[in-house]
Structure 1
Amino acid sequence: MELNRAVAENIKRIRKSKKLSMERTAAIAGVSRSMLGQIERGEANPSVAILGKLAAALKVPAEVLLENDDFETLLLSRELDNKPQRLDGGKAVLRPSFSYDDTTRQETFFLDLYISARYAPEPSVPGCVCHATLLAGTVALNAEGQAFQLLERDALRFAADRPYFFENMTNATARLLLIYQYLK
């Protein structure tokens, strides 16, 4: 949803949930009723100052007025549409599953580790957490200064903003699902 439309709907929804009239909200915020009406209809693009006044009048944090929850739950990602990245001399393949999404603050990848493959990416941005689930094989995972051996269907969550690596421990391909979550 367009941000202007999301702001309009958020203001109107919150105002109504607090049982405030447009007149009363406009008076508390110190804006004209016509301006508030234009904002709620999505016809006016409110300044940061006006958003701050409206947030104070509605007694909500200003970022709540900017929330855009027009999140589409149904989304298909086809393997053929996602270009893989070959790493470690071609012994590791990182394939995006779902690209970064602002609403969920997540992105997902499949990681295939062929025989003797090692995947040691650069640490991510501060506050990033990885949820790694082993789908097939056996993998050594070193994260947060600790060594783990993951067996099929084991899962581990760890800080991805510090050095970590995966290493295939068998004579078969190991496959993982990696979900990166970017905390606020």
Structure 2
Amino acid sequence: MARHCKDVPEGEEPMELNRAVAENIKRIRKTKKLSMERLAQEAGVSRSMLGQIERGEANPSVALLGKLAAALKVPADVLLENDDFQSLQLTRELDTKPVRLDGGKTVLRPSLPYDEVTRQESFFLDLYISAQYAPEPSVPGCLCHATVLSGTVGLEAEEQTFQLLERDALRFAADRPYRFSNQTSASARLLLVYRYLK
């Protein structure tokens, strides 16, 4: 049975994690007297992306947080400090921004942002006809739990090849090269949950 979340009364909404990250990055950057341009350059990100992060408009990946923490010379967990963190979190599709890859044939959409308690984040991956998705390997100790929601997907991971059908799930090390490919003439969709063990 589905459970529905009641709206939090005005003024009582808990501080979202991405807002906490935004405020932590901005505060530390200003304390260290770094301009946005300088921090973006040292972290290897665009100034516009850093601006979105500092405004709380983007949910940075764990890898990106690691780069920002290194550029700020602070432990990554400092960027995630959030006294108002709540376990209950609702994310609506209309509030997330998809990333289009592979000439628009692959769409990656955030599901839930990184959670410092569970040490995981999740994404929806849409693969249209002949689409592939082969991201850079993640940080050491990262596992991916991939569940096919629709379609048939080929997955190369840990030097093996798998054919995943609808409702099939596979866990694999995401800190090594891996690749998803759509194997049918219809679109395929997956749920990817990344868990960071270290």
TM-score, length basis structure 2: 0.57
Structure 1 residues 35-114: aligned runs within 5 Å: 72-114=86-128
Quote the Cα distance in structure 2 between the aligned partners of 1:154 and 1:71. Answer: 33
8 Å contact from structure 1 (residues 144, 158) kept in 2: yes
Q: 1:145 to 1:69 in 2, by over 3 A?
A: farther
Structure 1 residues 1-184: aligned runs within 5 Å: 72-184=86-198
Measure how far apart 1:93 and its partner are. Answer: 0.1
Measure how far apart 1:129 and its partner are. Answer: 0.3
Measure how far apart 1:68 and its partner are. Answer: 8.4
Measure how far apart 1:101 and its partner are. Answer: 1.3
**Superposed CA RMSD:** 1.8
Which of the pair has more CA radius of gyration?
A: 1
Q: 1:162 to 1:85 in 2, by over 3 A?
A: same
Quote the Cα distance in structure 2 between the aligned partners of 1:158 and 1:100. Answer: 19
Unaligned runs of 5+ in 2: 1-14, 16-80
Residue of structure 1 in register with 2:43 after alignment: none
Match of 1:80, SS state, is helix
Measure how far apart 1:72 and its partner are. Answer: 2.0
8 Å contact from structure 1 (residues 107, 181) kept in 2: yes
Q: Deviations over 1:91-125 (max 9, x none)?
A: 00000011111111100000000000000000000
Quote the Cα distance in structure 2 between the aligned partners of 1:181 and 1:70. Answer: 22
Q: Deviations over 1:154-180 (max 9, x none)?
A: 000000000000000001110000000
Deviation >4 Å, runs of 4+: 67-71
Measure how far apart 1:73 and its partner are. Answer: 2.5
Q: Deviations over 1:15-51 (max 9, x none)?
A: xxxxxxxxxxxxxxxxxxxxxxxxxxxxxxxxxxxxx
Measure how far apart 1:74 and its partner are. Answer: 1.6
Quote the Cα distance in structure 1 between the aligned partners of 2:104 and 2:169. Answer: 25
Quote the Cα distance in structure 2 between the aligned partners of 1:71 and 1:80. Answer: 22
Match of 2:195, SS state, is strand
Match of 1:115, SS state, is coil
Quote the Cα distance in structure 1 between the aligned partners of 2:84 and 2:99. Answer: 31
8 Å contact from structure 1 (residues 109, 178) kept in 2: yes
Identical-pair percentage: 77
Quote the Cα distance in structure 1 between the aligned partners of 2:119 and 2:83. Answer: 13
